[in-house]
Amino acid sequence: MSILKANDIGISFGGVKAVDGVSFAVSPGQILSIIGPNGAGKTTLFNIVSGIYAASRGTIRLADEDVTGLSPHKLAERGLSRTFQNLQIFQRMTACENVMVGRHLREKCSLLPALFRAPSVTRQNRETRAAALDLLAYVGLKDVADMPAGSLPYGACKRLEIARALAAEPRVLLLDEPAAGCNAVETEEIDHLIRQVADRGVAVVLVEHDMKLVMKISDRILVLERGRPLAEGTPREVRDDPKVLEAYLGQHGAQEAARA
């Protein structure tokens, strides 16, 4: 039973079809990777699914509800969270505060008690901070909890984004290149993290260029090329697909690879 279902998604920018007729579905606990050469439309597809762009055609269903065209915060309320390829952390807030913002939907947020600092606000703050510290420990950032997020190294920021997304307790998590720019050790850590998240029953959709990581952790892989679906299947099926090899390596390279 799939929790997120995208059907025949399409979008054009000034006549260029950036995404054209892409469908996919993902179930709780499953990791679906979306791969493809640069410009294949992976991030655009993410932006449509998370409500940042409005698709010009197709529908998106989340937990059997039509959510096509809903704004990002409405989708977040329904259990969809994401990270960004180009980091979008709250630079001037501490690491802990970043994750606390992730708890936004789990918090009561009325203005008057906030202005006059009602005891309930202080209590809730304590609970939110404790939850945020747990998540920071989970992604290995507990030591830097009170550092400004802008001062953290790149790999730490990547994990911070994952922690913030998890803080919302999502049912579907979209990860846009979580391992980009990370070294081998950091990639390994992120690999474990994603697996653990999926094991908790979260449906994970992953865009990633690190093929080793993708092949290792994905349950299914969707390959895009120039906005169109090229192949879909298990990592093994996709790896052996001649069309995929050709898209990545060109016709000549694919022949070389076949001979090797």
> What does the binding site for another protein look like in residue numbers (CB under 8 A)?
50-52, 71-73, 75-77, 81-82, 84, 88-93, 97, 100-102, 104-105, 107-109, 111, 114-117, 121, 124-126, 128-129, 164-165, 167-168
Complete edge-to-edge strand list for the sheet that includes strand 220-225? 80-82, 172-176, 203-207, 31-35, 220-225, 228-233
Give the sign of the dihedral formed by CA 195, CA 68, CA 23, CA 52.
negative
The residue among 169 and 188 lying less far from another protein, judged by its C-beta, is: 169
Contacts of residue 32, Cβ cutoff 8 Å, sequence gap at least 6: 24, 26, 203, 204, 205, 206, 218, 219, 220, 221, 222
The residue among 94 and 225 lying less far from another protein, judged by its C-beta, is: 94
CB of 136 to another protein, least distance (A): 15
The residue among 77 and 143 lying less far from another protein, judged by its C-beta, is: 77
CB of 91 to another protein, least distance (A): 5
- DSSP one-letter string for 146-184: TSBGGGS-HHHHHHHHHHHHHHT--SEEEEESTTTT--H
Q: Tell me how far apart the alpha carbons of residues 260 and 248 are, in angstroms, rounded to a whole number.
A: 16
CB of 6 to another protein, least distance (A): 17
The residue among 166 and 247 lying less far from another protein, judged by its C-beta, is: 166
CB of 114 to another protein, least distance (A): 4
SS3 labels along 177-202: CCCCCCCHHHHHHHHHHHHHHHHCCC
The residue among 52 and 249 lying less far from another protein, judged by its C-beta, is: 52
CB of 87 to another protein, least distance (A): 9
The residue among 54 and 211 lying less far from another protein, judged by its C-beta, is: 54
Residue 89, sorted as left (phi over 0), alpha (psi -120 to 50) or beta, turns out to be beta
**Where is 22: in which H helix or E strand?**
strand 16-26
CB of 230 to another protein, least distance (A): 28
